[in-house]
Structure 1
Amino acid sequence: MQRLIPPRIHVLLARDSAAAVVIRRGPTRHTAIIGWDRKTDKFKTGQWLYGRIYERRCDLAPDGKHLIYFAMNGRWGSSAKGSWTAISRAPYLKAVSLFAKGDCWHGGGLFRTSTDYWLNDGHGHELQKEDRSLRRVVEYPWHEQYGGECLGVYYIRLQRDGWKLKYSAPDGEGDQVTVFERRVNDHWTLRKLAHAGLAHSAGRGVYFDTHELFNSRTGEVISKMDWEWAELDGARLIWAAKGCLHSGRLDAKGLRNEKVLHDFSPMQLEKLAAPY
């Protein structure tokens, strides 16, 4: 019997508001964008795409109002050229700014502020429409560089949002692993192990993350290989595993008050219109 692979989950948190966006992928060419109010832990489906959204090249504006994303549906003869970068009103996908691409080199971008954004444009976009209330920052705004594809956006986003890059090295299985850390409290540090390479198992792509909890007082390391995404949300820890979003709190004794916030597994592709 074929093993069912749960949907892949990646989350973008707004820095200056309680808004968040969940990017749910699965099966391969079915991608949903879901809005998440972190104050109430209520979820609302925005729109679906029959295609691929490259979650590591996406970003959510600090106020949570706009989403920048890179997508591909392979319709190379369309006006969007089969792949494109867009800015939409979160949690929807309908573009208010649209940059046709035509390939999967570069693409996506990052928000500097709630109105200023940087477009990952090293290999060329074609402007189709533009929301003039948003301003494109043309010059490269950071010191670090990690290439033009997923890691060139993702690693910058992680460091901007408080993660510390510790080191990068071969993982012994044919991949490269880059370790990021984020302090949780006086006892615990959350580690993100960002894998890049071809030696991945079913349900994982070329890029995937695993996690660890490290206790600096005792030296204890708790491996969380099934956590495909994890972050701090105020005093609580939130993570995605096996198609679900979870929360909990770390104290001196370990992870407490664990609960499932939402199970995204039952969702199915549906046509939904943006309200703008």
Structure 2
Amino acid sequence: MSHDDSPTPSEGRAPKEPTSPSLYVLPATRAPVAAVFRRGPSKAWMIARWDLLTDEITAGARLRGTVYPRRCDLSPDGRLLYAFLLKTASRGFLGSGGGLLSYSIVSKLPWLYALAAWKESGTWTRGYHFVERQGRDEPPWDIGPPGEGDVVPLRARYGLARTEPFQYAAEHRRGWTAHERCPARGPNDMWDERRQVVLVRTRPGGSERLVLTDTGLNTARPFAIEGRRPDYHLERRGREVALPDVTWADWDARGRLLLATSYGCLQIRDVDKHPMPVRWERDLEHLPPAPGSAPEHVRRW
């Protein structure tokens, strides 16, 4: 392939230091909603809701601890968030005597108020993901009884299936497939950590292909989420278009190119124009979390 001119960041945008926030996005599979995870600028995490019909951003919970976004999931309708967390727990929570605790919760996006919670034995897990019922009496349910809360309303609609050790499992559930250049997983790579990954996703209603390239686990790389920091480029009309400063990318159902950048912004770019100008942008670096505690409507199913 030949190389095309790459798009440039917004005019006047100065490169940020690696202390800028890192962003990761999880779109719902059948609703125009996405969960946005922001790490930093301090060590805290924030969750936000991105409405892909209106492009409104709603700030939610803040967590002083660790969120593992690549092990999280958003329900197909975009309402519920499964999250894998590590933080200092209060004495008595999930039977804990206090101290550092890894646990799973189900909450309402963009909050982390646990409607149900389970204690985990550590961080050597890829978490869980939502599975829709398909006419069976019981959906897949790998977690068991919760340590806190009630799962009966959740069981009525969804199962929670264990995510197997597989890189970019959330992306595969959202339409990404292995690129023809993607190497096979090694027989001794049990946790799929060492493999270089190349994935591709074709634009809905179009022929352009978005390509994700990950050279392997690298916890020191700026803006890495759980040690992964892929690069992205676009394939169109036999040419490669680099996407510099992009740390996450995907198509929405309308074929719009959604991006998160290394300077803390969410963007939508116009793929049909050269050199893909920014149609919409929201700077999340200074977006404050929602004030106060979780509102009453997210404290019940």
Name the TM-score class by shorter chain. 0.7 to 0.9
CA distance in 2, matches of 1:194, 1:235: 23
1:236 matched to 2:256: yes
The 1:201/1:245 distance shift into structure 2, 3 A limit, reads same
1:9–1:229 contact (8 Å) kept in structure 2: yes
After superposition, where does 1:209-220 map in structure 2 within 5 Å?
Answer: 209-215=230-236, 217-218=237-238, 220=239
Larger Rg: 2
CA distance in 1, matches of 2:142, 2:64: 23
| Alignment-derived partner of residue 173 in structure 2 | 160
Aligned residues: 258
Q: Which secondary structure state, in structure 2, belongs to the residue aligned with residue 208 of structure 1? A: coil
1:98-130 residue CA offsets vs partner (Å, 9 max, x unmatched): 001242121531111289976776xx9963333
Residue identity in the other structure for 1:84: Y
1:273 matched to 2:293: yes
| Alignment-derived partner of residue 105 in structure 2 | 86
After superposition, where does 1:177-256 map in structure 2 within 5 Å?
Answer: 177-184=196-203, 186-198=206-218, 200-205=220-225, 206-215=227-236, 217-218=237-238, 220-233=239-252, 234-241=254-261, 242-251=263-272, 254-256=274-276
The 1:107/1:192 distance shift into structure 2, 3 A limit, reads closer
CA distance in 1, matches of 2:276, 2:80: 34
Runs of 5+ consecutive residues of structure 1 not aligned to the other structure: none
1:100–1:125 contact (8 Å) kept in structure 2: no
Query: TM-score, structure 2 length as denominator?
Result: 0.74
Q: How much does 1:7 deviate? A: 0.6
State which of 17, 20, 27 in structure 2 corresponds to 1:13. 27
Q: Which secondary structure state, in structure 2, belongs to the residue aligned with residue 256 of structure 1? A: coil
- The CA RMSD measured in Å over matched residues stands at 3.2
Q: Relative to total residues, which structure has the larger strand share, 1 or 2? A: 1
Query: TM-score, structure 1 length as denominator?
Result: 0.80
CA distance in 1, matches of 2:133, 2:107: 13
CA distance in 1, matches of 2:233, 2:212: 7
CA distance in 1, matches of 2:172, 2:147: 29
Residue identity in the other structure for 2:270: R
